[in-house]
Amino acid sequence: RRNGVEFAVADLEFAAFGRQEIRLAEHEMPGLMQLRREYAEARPLHGARIAGSLHMTVQTAVLIETLVSLGAQVRWVSCNIFSTQDEAASAVVVGPHGTPQEPRGVPVFAWKGETLPEYWWCTERLFSFTDGEGNVVGPNMILDDGGDATLLVHKGVEYETAGVVPTVADDDHTVSEEARVVLDTLRRSLAADPQRWTRVAKEIRGVSEETTTGVNRLYQLAEQGKLLFPAINVNDSVTKSKFDNKYGIRHSLIDGLNRATDVLIGGKVAVVCGFGDVGKGSAEALAGQGARVIVTEIDPICALQALLEGFQVAQLDEVIGKADIVITTTGNKDIVTVEHMAAMKHQVILGNVGHFDNEIDMAGLARHPGIHRITIKPQVDEWVFPDGHSIIVLSEGRLLNLGNATGHPSFVMSTSFSNQVIAQIELFTRHEEYNRDVYRLSKVLDEKVARIHVQALGGELTKLSKDQAEYIDVDVEGPYKPEHYRY
Ligand code: NAI
C-alpha cells in the first residue's frame, strides 16, 4: 500500500512506459473512448465496486480507466499467470495523475510469471474493497474472463454451506495442481471466516463474462440451478466472438509464435485443433504465412467449413508425425496427449490458445519417464525425450498469444470491451430486471458497438430507405437482422 493505494505489481517505475502505451492504445480503442464521452455526465457506474479478472494488458488498462471514468471503484487481477504486461499493471496503479512515489490509480494485483499460489492469492485480493469509512467490503459486480473470480465465489459458498472443504490424496492425479491450490485457498478462508463468500455473493448484482470457456461454466451453473447472481455473456455478442476470437487471434497467434521461436512458418505443416471462432482465425493466419494447414474437429459443420476453406481435415493421431506446428484452440481438455508428443517430429512447436492449460497434457509430459526440460527463455521450453527428439512447448501450455506476445491488438479489444462496459452498466443499474440466469446484450447494442468501429475505420454505411426497410421488414434504424441470424 502506498499513498492509500493497495497493489502487488512488478515495479511501479515501469509506469511511465505503460502510460505512453495506454495513450497510444486509447486512439485505437474508439468504442471505449466514445462510451467515456457518452456517459461523462451521467456516470452510471457510480457506486459500483467492480472486481475484474482479465489479462492485465495495455488494452485492459484502457478498459479499467473507462470503468473508473464512469464512476466505478475497481480492483483488478490477471486471469492468467503469464498474461500481465508489467508496465500496464504499474501504469494503472500509478494512474494518469499519480507518480510511482504517490500512486493515485486502481489497486492491481498482477505480474507476469505468477506461481499458481500467487495467482489465487491475487484473485482473493479482488474481494476486499474498502468503503468510505475504511471498512472492508466485498465487490458488487464481477467482470470475469474464464470465470475464475466467479468460480472462487461459487466454490466458497458451496463449501461454506457444507461447512467443510474436501480433501484430496497427494497421489490423486485426477486433481490438478491448480484445483489443489483453490481448495487450500478456500480451506484457509473458511477457517478464518466461515461466512465470507456467502456475504460476498449476496452483494453481487451480476457478472459479465468475456470468453467462451467462462460462458460455458456459467451456462452449466445456471442449468444446475446453482448460479448465484445474473450473468451477461459478453462472448456471444457478435461484436465480440466474431471479431476478437477470430481476427484477434489471427494477429496475436503469429505474434506469439514469432516472438517465441522466430521459425519460418511458410512451408511448414501446421495442425490446428478446433475450427470454432479461434480456430478459424488461427488457421487463416497460419495459411497466410504459407503453412500447409490441417484441421481437427469433432463437429461436422465446423469440419465442413474447414474443408471448404481449403484445409485438410484429419484425426490428430493420423497426422501427428507430419506436423511442424501444433496449436490447440478447442476450449476442451486432453486434446494433445503425452503419446502424441512422444510421436512428434524433432523440434515441433506446440502451443495452446484455448483458455485453460488442460488442452495439452503438461502434467503427463512432466511425469514422462526420462523426460528432460531445457528452458530456452521465459515461456519457451524445450522438452527432450529419452530417444533424443525434443519438442518446444510455449507458455507451459497456457495461452501463448498472451504469454509469448501481448495478446490481441487494441482495436479489436475495443469491440470486446465496449460490450463489457455496456454489460456492466446494464447489470449494475437494472439488476432487478434480471434473474439468476445467463443473458446476452441486445442486437441494438451490438450494432451500436459495430457502428462506432465502422466510423473509426472510415467505412461509410449505406442508408436504408423507408420503402426498403418495409420490404425486408426491419426498422430503418435497425436492428437489421433477426435473432437467429448467424453472421
Ligand atoms: P468455439 O466453441 O467456437 O470453438 C471450439 C471448437 O473446438 C468447436 O468447433 C468444437 O467443435 C471444437 N472441439 C471441441 N472438442 C474438440 C476435440 N476434441 N477435437 C477437435 N475439436 C474440438 O470456441 P472459441 O470461441 O473458438 O474459443 C475456443 C477457446 O479459446 C476457448 O477456451 C476460449 O475461451 C478461448 N479464447 C482464447 C482467446 C485468446 O486470446 N487466446 C480469445 C478468445 C477465446
| CATH number for 267 | 3.40.50.720
Query: What local confidence, expressed as pLDDT, does residue 176 receive?
Result: 92
Q: How far is residue 121's CA from residue 110's CA, in Å, rounded to a whole number?
A: 10
Give residue-wise pLDDT tens across range 174-204. Answer: 899 999 999 999 999 999 999 999 999 999 9
Residues 290 and 357 in one domain: yes
Q: Classify residue 87: in a domain, yes or no.
A: yes
Query: What local confidence, expressed as pLDDT, does residue 132 receive?
Result: 85
Distance, CA 2 to ligand 1 centroid (Å)?
Answer: 41
Residues 254 and 361 in one domain: yes
Strand blocks (E) in 407-482 = 438-439
Q: Is 140 annotated as a binding residue?
A: no
- Name the domain boundary from 344, 372, 403: 403
CA angle, corner 254, sides to 235 and 32, nearest 5?
40
Here the cell at position 436 is: 439468476
Ligand 1 atom closest to the Cα of residue 273 is 20
Q: How far is residue 289's CA from residue 8's CA, in Å, rounded to a whole number?
A: 39
User: How many domains in the chain?
Assistant: 2
Residues 191 and 85 in one domain: yes
- Beta bridge pairs of residue 49: 73
> Closest Cα to atom 43, ligand 1: which residue?
245
Give the Cβ contact number of residue 73 at 10 Å. Answer: 22
Q: Is 281 annotated as a binding residue?
A: yes
Residues 251 and 160 in one domain: no
The answer to whether 65 and 56 have CB atoms below 8 angstroms apart is no
Here the cell at position 136 is: 472492508
Residues 194 and 323 in one domain: no
Distance, CA 446 to ligand 1 centroid (Å)?
Answer: 22
Alpha helices in 210-315 (DSSP H): 212-223, 238-240, 249-261, 277-288, 300-308
Give residue-wise pLDDT tens across range 376-397. Answer: 999 999 999 999 999 999 999 9
Average pLDDT value for residue range 277-299: 98
Q: Classify residue 386: in a domain, yes or no.
A: yes
- Ligand 1 pocket check for 401: Cβ under 6 Å: yes
Residue 432 DSSP class: G
Q: Classify residue 78: in a domain, yes or no.
A: yes
Q: How far is residue 192's CA from residue 144's CA, in Å, rounded to a whole number?
A: 26
Element (H, E) at 49: strand 49-53
Ligand 1 atom closest to the Cα of residue 356 is 32
Residues 184 and 302 in one domain: no
Distance, CA 279 to ligand 1 centroid (Å)?
Answer: 7
Count of helix runs (H) and strand runs (E) in the chain: 20, 17
Three-state DSSP class for residue 395: helix
Residue 355 DSSP class: S
Instruction: Report the percent of the chain where pLDDT is more than 90.
Output: 98
Query: What local confidence, expressed as pLDDT, does residue 430 receive?
Result: 97
Q: How far is residue 49's CA from residue 37's CA, in Å, rounded to a whole number?
A: 21
Strand blocks (E) in 234-389 = 269-273, 292-296, 312-313, 325-328, 348-352, 372-377, 380-384
- Ligand 1 pocket check for 297: Cβ under 6 Å: yes
Q: Classify residue 33: in a domain, yes or no.
A: yes
Report the length, in residues, of the chain: 487
Half-sphere exposure (Cβ direction) of 432: Cα atoms closer than 13 Å: 1
Ligand 1 atom closest to the Cα of residue 278 is 26
- Ligand 1 pocket check for 330: Cβ under 6 Å: yes
Query: Distances in Å between the alpha carbon of 77 and those of 296, 333, 366?
Result: 34, 25, 28
Residues 36 and 124 in one domain: yes
pLDDT band at 142 (very low <50, low <70, confident <90, very high): very high
Here the cell at position 148 is: 475464475
pLDDT band at 34 (very low <50, low <70, confident <90, very high): very high
Q: Is the torsion defined by CA of 336, 341, 345, 346 positive or negative?
A: positive
CA angle, corner 477, sides to 475 and 483, nearest 5?
60
Q: Classify residue 355: in a domain, yes or no.
A: yes
Here the cell at position 221 is: 451453473
Phi, psi of 2 (to 5 degrees): -140, 135
Which CATH number does the domain housing residue 136 bear?
A: 3.40.50.1480
Here the cell at position 373 is: 526440460
Three-state DSSP class for residue 203: helix
Q: Classify residue 329: in a domain, yes or no.
A: yes
Residues 185 and 286 in one domain: no
Q: Which three-class secondary structure string do you get for 72-118?
A: CEEEEECCCCCCCCHHHHHHHHHCCCCCCCCCCCCCEECCCCCCHHH
Q: Is 213 annotated as a binding residue?
A: yes
Query: Distances in Å between the alpha carbon of 128 and those of 73, 121, 124?
Result: 12, 12, 8
pLDDT band at 420 (very low <50, low <70, confident <90, very high): very high
- Name the domain boundary from 403, 429, 449: 403
Residues 134 and 267 in one domain: no
Residues 205 and 318 in one domain: no
Residues 116 and 254 in one domain: no
Average pLDDT value for residue range 38-48: 98
Q: How far is residue 47's CA from residue 392's CA, in Å, rounded to a whole number?
A: 48
Instruction: Report the percent of the chain where pLDDT is more than 70.
Output: 100
Q: Classify residue 419: in a domain, yes or no.
A: no
> Closest Cα to atom 19, ligand 1: which residue?
297
Here the cell at position 236 is: 456471444
Give residue-wise pLDDT tens across range 73-127. Answer: 999 999 999 999 999 999 999 999 999 999 999 999 999 999 999 999 999 999 9
Which of 226, 232, 50 lies closest to 138 in space, CA to CA? 50
Cα 447 → chain centroid: 23
Ligand 1 pocket mutation, candidates 55, 212, 301, criterion most atoms within 8 A of CB: 212
Q: How far is residue 162's CA from residue 313's CA, in Å, rounded to a whole number?
A: 47
Give residue-wise pLDDT tens across range 295-344. Answer: 999 999 999 999 999 999 999 999 999 999 999 999 999 999 999 999 99
- Ligand 1 pocket check for 241: Cβ under 6 Å: yes
- Ligand 1 pocket check for 73: Cβ under 6 Å: no
Q: How far is residue 271's CA from residue 359's CA, in Å, rounded to a whole number?
A: 14
pLDDT band at 171 (very low <50, low <70, confident <90, very high): confident
Residues 203 and 262 in one domain: no
Tell me what the pLDDT averaged over the chain comes to.
Answer: 97
Examine the pLDDT at 289 and tell me if it is beyond 90. Answer: yes
Q: Classify residue 474: in a domain, yes or no.
A: no
Examine the pLDDT at 470 and tell me if it is beyond 90. Answer: yes
User: Which residue range forms the structural domain that includes residue 123?
Assistant: 12-145+147-209
Ligand 1 atom closest to the Cα of residue 296 is 20
The answer to whether 78 and 84 have CB atoms below 8 angstroms apart is yes
The yes/no answer to whether this complex scores an ipTM above 0.90 is yes
- Name the domain boundary from 379, 403, 427: 403
Q: Walk across the sheet containing 49-53 and list its strands.
A: 108-109, 73-77, 49-53, 141-144, 206-209, 231-233, 438-439
Give residue-wise pLDDT tens across range 342-373. Answer: 999 999 999 999 999 999 999 999 999 999 99
Query: What local confidence, expressed as pLDDT, does residue 173 receive?
Result: 84
Give residue-wise pLDDT tens across range 233-274. Answer: 999 999 999 999 999 999 999 999 999 999 999 999 999 999
